[in-house]
Amino acid sequence: MLGTVQLHAIAHGRSGDKGNRLNVNIIAYDQKHWPVLLEEVTAERVAALFAHRGVTEVRRYELPRLGALNFVIEDALEGGVNSSLAVDTHGKCLSYLVLGMEIRVSVEPGEDAMSRRVLQSAK
């Protein structure tokens, strides 16, 4: 059975800056969700989420032993901490933009009711 949830139901994130470059890391809570991250959280989808910020490039790096993805997003911070008038000049809150992404997750018939409730409540 396939369900749709927000990414934060199966992963957490961290973000930070280096000049005008944003770095967003998405880490699965459970290694069993690593294939879901690979399939659903693509560089193209992340670029679409940040299009309103005028990003010029998004690169995805895979860290399979950590169950994590690292995205390097160019030109996402309005010039960087010394140039921008934005409230969050370091981009620390921007991982939440990615964590709000809708993804498809399979729920196996044998999974316990609690797992199903967690995935359902994240819709």
Res 109: pLDDT: 61
Using pLDDT thresholds of 50, 70 and 90, give the confidence band for residue 117: low
Say how many CA atoms lie within 13 Å of 72 toward its Cβ.
Answer: 6
pLDDT of residue 92: 54
- Residue 43 buriedness (CB in 10 A; 0-12 / 13-18 / 19+): middle
Distance CA 119, CA 116 (A): 5
Secondary structure (3-state) at 14: strand
Domain-wise residue ranges, the chain: 7-104
Dig out the tokens for 91 from the structure. 């981009």
Residue whose structure tokens are 């140039």? 83
Place 113 in a pLDDT band, splitting at 50, 70 and 90. very low
User: What is the CATH code of the structural domain delimited by 7-104?
Assistant: 3.30.70
pTM across the whole model:
0.78
Q: How large is the average pLDDT for residues 78-105?
A: 66
Least confident of 18-27, 29-38, 68-77, 84-93: 84-93
Three-class DSSP category at 108: coil
